[in-house]
Amino acid sequence: MPTQIQLRRDTAADWTSNNPTLAAGEFGWESDSNRFKIGTGSAAWTSLEYADTLKTLGDISVNGSSIIAPSNGDLTLTTSGSGKVNISDAYTLPSSDGSANQVLQTNGSGVLSFGDLSAIGDFSFVGSTMSSPSNADITLDPAGTGAIKLNANTDITGNLTVTGTLDLGDSNFTNVGALQLDSIAGDGDTNTSITFSGSDVITIATGGSGRLTIGDGALSPVTDNQIDLGTSSLEFKDAYFDGTVTTDGLTVSGTIGAGGLTVNSAYSLPTADGNSGQVLQTDGSGTLSFATVSLGDLSIIGSSILAPSNADLTLNSSNGNVVIEGIRVAGTTLSTEDSSTGIQVAGNLIPSQDGVFQLGSASRRWQTAYLAAETIDLGGATIKSDGSGELTIAATGATLPTGSKVGQQALVLGGKTTKTTARPVQIVKVFVSDGSTNKSDAQFLAGTADLELEFNGTVEDVPVFTEANQSFSLSDGTSLLANAGGATLFQF
């Protein structure tokens, strides 16, 4: 009978789940994947490598579906005879190289060969020249936001017609013969431009609007009284006019010639300066000269109006009021000129004499006084508040906050009650006599005299023994001093 050899076998999942340790040289076959491992006698199944995997072939290593040459080594595929390298059963590579500049082309039947690239679409290529068919335009149309860029020098021997925008990318545009433009706009600021109209007028715009026009014989602003000729810091050097200069105002910071300066043919300015503090004064005949002018006894220096030494400065208005920085003075009344809630005093408000002036009057009283210091000083005596509580004074009496004291003692309020503990004063009827010896009960009770029994608001805890400094012994033998604290029976 022939000998039958069977290998140990199981499915891949069972091998992994059971994870046995094969004996050294023992085969373990995965019946569903047709792969096997060989035991080492110590490693479990999951730690063993498959023995059916080709790892190396000469200097080439194989990893999965990758064939890897040694580091920095070429991977050379060499066929035998007329055989060719087939890629994925899709096409074959040629067995030899082509000529310079040739490209690999397919014949559409799975065969690649080297050939010349002479045409793409309708274009033909000869050397570095790309040509379109006769009389046909060459159209370069990038997709999306793409652009056509010419990174080298470009020679145009014919006319260049641009229907869109010609962007030179901040490069120089030099050696131009004639340039015909409708307008020139700034690159960094598109609100600035120079426009060439068809009516012999050049318009210069800034801020998006026309400012200055150059026409046939006139340099004019676009809008009346809008632009300046120079600035306060950038001035023109000299101006030469062969004609009349008409202006609404003239400021001269330089020198006026010997002939002086006549304004509007009405009056002439002096040719020399006056003394300090003098003003220009007219003689009524068209001649102005410097002269000293006085305003009563007042002197004006800068923005200050000064009265003579020790003299009052009096401001009077004719049937009006005097307003100083928003404060209106009308007679003896001060009021605010704007919508302010009042007049602020940045300092102490102190009378000029002690104990003379009043704050308000019997007929003009302040409504509410808000004192942040919470102290009122009345002739040296003070009234203080911690910011809480309320004191009300009326003709019927004063109402104090709960817990009011006299010194450190609680203030006890008096008043008639119905035998409650809220008031310590109780008024009771007593028998009175008018000298008669015989009276009925009703007569006694009808008497008008009442007796008020007033109890202390607080009860002191004092001993009941009246003889001071006497010793008493309690029943348990302990000593009780006469001045020791004890129970208080009652107190009036």
Residue-wise pLDDT tens digits, 157-192: 777 777 777 777 777 777 777 777 777 777 777 788
Question: Which of 247, 229, 227 is closest to 237 using CA atoms?
Answer: 229
- Percent of the chain, pLDDT > 90? 4
Residue 421 binned pLDDT confidence (cut-offs 50, 70, 90): very low
Q: What is the pLDDT of residues 320-353, one digit of tens each?
A: 777 777 777 777 777 777 777 777 778 888 888 8
Listed ranges 366-370, 430-434, 458-462; the one with the highest mean pLDDT: 366-370
Residues with Cβ < 8 Å from 16, sequence gap 6 or more? 45, 46
Tokens of 447: 């008497």
Tokens of 208: 């998006």
| 165, 182 contact by CB (below 8 A) | no
Structural element, H or E, at residue 136? none
DSSP calls for 189-205: -TT-EEEE-TTS-EEEE
Q: How many residues does the chain have?
A: 492
Which single residue is written with the structure tokens 């602003």? 221
Residue 13 binned pLDDT confidence (cut-offs 50, 70, 90): very high
- Backbone φ and ψ of 18, nearest 5°: -75, -35
pLDDT at 478: 72
Residue 92 binned pLDDT confidence (cut-offs 50, 70, 90): confident
| 38, 48 contact by CB (below 8 A) | yes
Listed ranges 15-29, 122-136, 437-451, 461-475; the one with the highest mean pLDDT: 15-29
Residue 16 binned pLDDT confidence (cut-offs 50, 70, 90): very high
- Backbone φ and ψ of 261, nearest 5°: -130, 125
Residues with Cβ < 8 Å from 390, sequence gap 6 or more? 399, 401
Taking CA atoms, 214 is separated from 140, 200, 302, 453, in Å, by: 41, 8, 46, 114
Residues pairing with 112 in the sheet: 106
Residues pairing with 193 in the sheet: 185, 205
Mean pLDDT of all residues in the chain?
Answer: 74
Radius of gyration of the CA atoms of the chain, in A: 60
pLDDT at 47: 92
Residues pairing with 202 in the sheet: 196, 214
- What distance, in Å, lies between the first and last C-alpha atoms of the chain? 140
Assign 21 to helix, strand or coil: strand
Please tell me the distance from the alpha carbon of residue 478 to that of residue 466, in angstroms, as a whole number: 20
Q: Is residue 43 scored above 60 in pLDDT?
A: yes
Q: Are strands 27-30 and 392-394 parallel, antiparallel or unpaired?
A: unpaired
Instruction: Count CB-CB contacts under 10 A for residue 270.
Output: 14
Which single residue is written with the structure tokens 């869109």? 164
pLDDT at 432: 52
Q: Is residue 492 scored above 60 in pLDDT?
A: no
Assign 104 to helix, strand or coil: strand
Rounded to the nearest 5 degrees, what angle is found at the Cα of 432, between the Cα atoms of 426 and 438? 145
DSSP calls for 107-118: -SSSBEEEE---
Residue 291 binned pLDDT confidence (cut-offs 50, 70, 90): confident
| 430, 436 contact by CB (below 8 A) | no
Instruction: Count CB-CB contacts under 10 A for residue 347.
Output: 5
Domain boundaries, the chain: 1-76, 78-115, 191-225
Please tell me the distance from the alpha carbon of residue 138 to that of residue 150, in angstroms, as a whole number: 15
Q: What is the mean pLDDT of residues 238-246?
A: 77
Assign 47 to helix, strand or coil: helix
pLDDT at 14: 94
| Residue type (1 letter), 138 | I
Query: 52: alpha, beta or left, given left = phi > 0 and alpha = psi -120 to 50?
Result: alpha
| Residue type (1 letter), 329 | V
| 71, 47 contact by CB (below 8 A) | no
| 99, 80 contact by CB (below 8 A) | no
Q: Are strands 27-30 and 8-10 parallel, antiparallel or unpaired?
A: parallel
Instruction: Count CB-CB contacts under 10 A for residue 115.
Output: 13
DSSP state of 164: S
Please tell me the distance from the alpha carbon of residue 57 to that of residue 67, in angstroms, as a whole number: 10
| 213, 220 contact by CB (below 8 A) | yes
Name the least confident of 15-19, 21-25, 298-302, 380-384.
298-302
Listed ranges 192-196, 408-412, 435-439; the one with the highest mean pLDDT: 192-196
Tokens of 347: 């300092």
pLDDT at 15: 93
Residue 17 binned pLDDT confidence (cut-offs 50, 70, 90): very high
Residues pairing with 28 in the sheet: 8, 37
Q: The whole model's pTM is what?
A: 0.28
Structural element, H or E, at residue 37? strand 35-38
Please tell me the distance from the alpha carbon of residue 489 to that of residue 466, in angstroms, as a whole number: 13
| Residue type (1 letter), 467 | E
| 399, 391 contact by CB (below 8 A) | yes
Distance of CA 14 to the CA centre of its chain: 68
